[in-house]
Chain A
Amino acid sequence: MSIATQRRHRGLTQFANSFRQDRTGMTGLVILAIFIATAILAPILIPDAALDVTKADGGRFEPPSFSYPLGTDEVGRSILLMLAWGTRISLTVGLAATLISMVIGTAFGIMAGHFRGVGSQALVGVTDWFLVIPFLPLAIVLATVLGPSTLNLIIVIGITSWAGTARLIRAQTLSIEGRPYLERSKALGAGNWYQMSRHVLPNVFPLVLANTTLTVAIVILSETTLSFLGLGDPGAPSWGALLDRAFSSGAVSRGAWWYVLPPGICVVLVVLAFTLVGRAMERIVDPRRAS
């Protein structure tokens, strides 16, 4: 094994060990694992019939009971099963859109911070344009053009939510650009790609991680908003769609708290879990703070 792979291997083991000792990080990880397991196992554990309006067997707005732990909705379906199925949609949309958003934002941010001149100004211009354009009209226009589907929802959210990240990463890149080790790297003959990938990226990465947790939160909320406006896949009962249905069916005025609260609590739990894991990773990845 070469020194480099050895070191990488050792680094990963060390990372895993330190993470295991981080209590808040582990809490977040456990919560996330439960949600992810639910999302993966949903199609196996939940019969299709449970979500079918025509095959619903419960009463309307039944409060929680033994057979329906979280009660039923306006047509008598089990909220718990719908919630579990919604985890799958919400997490898929949340993670995929966040990934798109982070990749675009990080790439734009690093390039805008690393290069000088017209190219950089153009990148900053595009970023600012996306930042000032109101999110909803742009997302609605895009979603209408692309048509309602889960994939389109991911694309729409991904390309409308990266600008803030790009701004942040650019600022961090600019401060790293001033560090002497980039000067040293240049003096060693390193090109732009090498400098950006070996020096800038690893140093902005903790920020990217921390920002990811926030972006996941925003993205899941965006998904809720767009689904609420009927721009998501009508057949996919995401948490947003669930909330939307609860609202339109009058669950709030009927006092059917079991219909409104669980999707909201799920959103909060997932966002919290991501934040805990992100912060723990940040603590470990930064060797200056780890010591």
Chain B
Amino acid sequence: MIISAQDLSVCFDGRVRAVDGVDLDIPAGEILALVGESGCGKTTLARTLLGLEKPTSGTVSFEGQPLSYSTKALKKYRSQVQLILQDPLGALNPRHTVYDAVAEGLRVQKIPGDETALVADALSRAGLRPPERFFMRFPHELSGGQRQRVVIAGALVLSPRVLIADEPVSSLDASVRGEILNLLLSLRDDLGLTVLVVTHDLGLAWNIADRVSVMYLGRIVESGPTAEVLTNPQHPYTQALLSVVPDISRTAPIVLTGETPDPTRIPSGCRFHPRCPVAMEQCSKTTLPILIPSRGHAAVCLRISDSD
């Protein structure tokens, strides 16, 4: 496992349990999609895996070693695990040129070598060719897709092992999105990168992910190979999420009422029971176990007697 989490919890102000018991294993070279609605804790989980957030309890491990939160160790860790943000325009300092934006990682990490060559290499690997044409451009002079490629180049320049991408295409034009997803796929194939994609978009998961983990209110409720989870969902929440993806060939959508509850008031028993269309009486009383990572397909729901 290149990156993993054991019984991870992250609380804010002592009461907001954004991540509330998550076990996660990502083997090297895998693309994992972490799927859920806003407020489910997926972004907090990603930030915690990056070491940007310190867990309240539990551990994050990189190559089997628990993460150390000393300034020096964290800095070193960050050259291995890189972040790609949702809004590339916001992620780039408007006053920095493309060259500066990509070189920033090298300067921060004080990486020796020919800076210009490294930056040019990262830009062309991110699909901006010839790279010299982009050096002096400012973010506002680029298109959305180009900006996201600059952000990706800024991550690649450090030769990381893991990319954590938070909604990497949701702010891009529909016709551009496929190209960026293709880039992520080819980075995995060519460089052996491990990619964690945080998204609410099941189509994206179907496009590129090897495995999918579905998160609801701070916990992973279902996990497994993409093809199985998305074509044969077990958890009622996953079923509902899939049913509302706009697609005319599908059966009637299960539109859940309300929105993801506030993580300060997590319901008792199964946390999904107040919105669950198939909830039973014992769902509000029985405490459910944390989903243990496995290579197979598993879900946490009282309706499923045995997860296979």
Contact = CB atoms under 8 A, between A and B. Distances in A.
Interface of A: 2-4, 7, 10, 179-181, 183-191, 194, 198-199, 202-203, 287-288, 291
B231 interface: no
B85 interface: yes
Contacts of B92: 181, 184
A184 B95 CA distance: 15
Interface stretch (B60-68, B108-116, B215-223, B278-286): B108-116
Contacts of B109: 188-189
A287 B116 contact: no
Task: Enumerate the 6 nearest inter-chain pairs by beta-carbon distance, A residue then B residue, closest first.
Answer: A187-B83, A189-B78, A180-B90, A189-B75, A180-B91, A188-B105
B82 interface: yes
B140 A291 contact: yes
Interface string B114-134: 011001000000000000000
Interface string B74-113: 1111110011011100111111110110001100110000
A290 to B, nearest CB: 9
B139 to A, nearest CB: 9
Contacts of B83: 183-184, 187
A199 B141 CA distance: 19
A287 B138 contact: yes
A188 B85 contact: no
A3 B115 contact: yes
A203 B82 contact: no
Interface residues of B, number: 39
Given A188-B78, A198-B93, 12 more contacts: A3-B119, A180-B85, A181-B90, A184-B85, A184-B91, A185-B108, A187-B82, A188-B105, A188-B154, A190-B104, A194-B108, A198-B104
Given A186-B52, A187-B83, A7 B93 contact: no
Contacts of B214: none
B104 A188 contact: yes
Which of A2, A3, A181, A288 has the largest count of B CB atoms less than 10 A from its CB?
Answer: A181
A185 B109 CA distance: 11
B97 A184 contact: no
A291 B50 CA distance: 36
Given A2-B116, A189-B109, A183 B85 contact: yes
B73 to A, nearest CB: 11
Contacts of A202: 93, 95-96
Nearest to B83: A187
A3 B135 contact: yes
B158 interface: yes
Contact of A188 (B76, B138, B140, B158): B158
Contacts of B78: 187-189
A12 to B, nearest CB: 14
Contacts of A186: 52
A111 B78 CA distance: 24
5 contacts: A4-B100, A181-B92, A183-B52, A189-B108, A203-B94
Interface of B: 50, 52, 71, 74-79, 82-83, 85-87, 90-97, 99-100, 104-105, 108-109, 115-116, 119, 135-136, 138, 140-141, 151, 154, 158
A4 B106 CA distance: 13
Contacts of A4: 100
Contact of A10 (B52, B75, B105, B136): B136
Contacts of A189: 74-79, 105, 108-109
A252 B218 CA distance: 76
Contact of A181 (B74, B76, B91, B97): B91
A288 B97 CA distance: 12
B52 A181 contact: no
A287 B99 contact: no
Contact of B108 (A2, A179, A188): A188
B91 A3 contact: no
Nearest to B119: A3
A179 B88 CA distance: 11
Nearest to A200: B93
A180 B151 CA distance: 11
A75 B145 CA distance: 75
A3 B116 contact: yes
Contacts of B95: 202-203, 287
Contacts of A3: 99, 115-116, 119, 135
Contacts of A288: 94, 140
A187 B157 CA distance: 13
A183 B71 CA distance: 16
Contacts of A198: 93, 104
Contacts of A2: 115-116
B140 A287 contact: yes
Nearest to A186: B52
Contacts of B85: 180, 183-184
B151 A184 contact: yes
A190 B115 CA distance: 17
Contacts of B116: 2-3
A198 B100 CA distance: 10
A203 B93 contact: yes
A185 B104 contact: yes
Contacts of B135: 3, 7
Contacts of A183: 52, 83, 85, 91
A11 to B, nearest CB: 9
